[in-house]
Amino acid sequence: MDSRSSACRHPDIRKFDGFTSCLACGTTIFDLHVTETSGEPSPEANPGAKRVCQYRKLNYELGQEIRLLDVMPGLVHDPVKCEIVTVSFLHNPEYEALSYTWATEQAVSSLSRLVHPTDGTTLPVTANCEAAIRRLRRLSL
């Protein structure tokens, strides 16, 4: 590798026969799935305590990752349950985007509502975000 490889921002990513490579610098990675741990104590250590979803950095080393919220079906007044998944644009994920304003008409933008990831944590969101997700999710039968 030459000196430009250490400064490469991986602009030209290609997938070949089970591995991914940057054509600009030659960096290759064979497995894009990274296991992340939160380092938090297990829920059994403190039953009844609510764990808040912890932010973890995305891996921009090779390709571009985004987080998607997979919303579970439910009725309008059911709690919002979801799964947060990290995907790479290299795998052409299918998703629907939601555009909304953070603040309400009263200019309130506090993280005052909760959605519930399937890992047992809670994710604070704005009232507008929670209302949009609640109304857009598929109905459970």
Q: Which SS3 state, helix, strand or coil, does residue 131 take? A: helix
DSSP three-state, residue 103: coil
Q: Where are the domains of the chain?
A: 1-33, 64-141
Going from the first residue of the chain to its last (141 residues), give the mean pLDDT of each consecutive group of 10, the final group possibly shorter: 52 65 67 36 48 77 81 91 88 86 80 89 89 88 67
Q: What are phi and psi of 130, to 5 degrees?
A: -60, -40
Can you give the pLDDT at residue 3? 39
Using only C-alpha atoms, the chain has a radius of gyration, in whole angstroms, of: 19
Beta partners for 125?
Answer: 113
Over residues 85-106, the pLDDT tens digits come to: 888 888 888 998 888 777 788 8
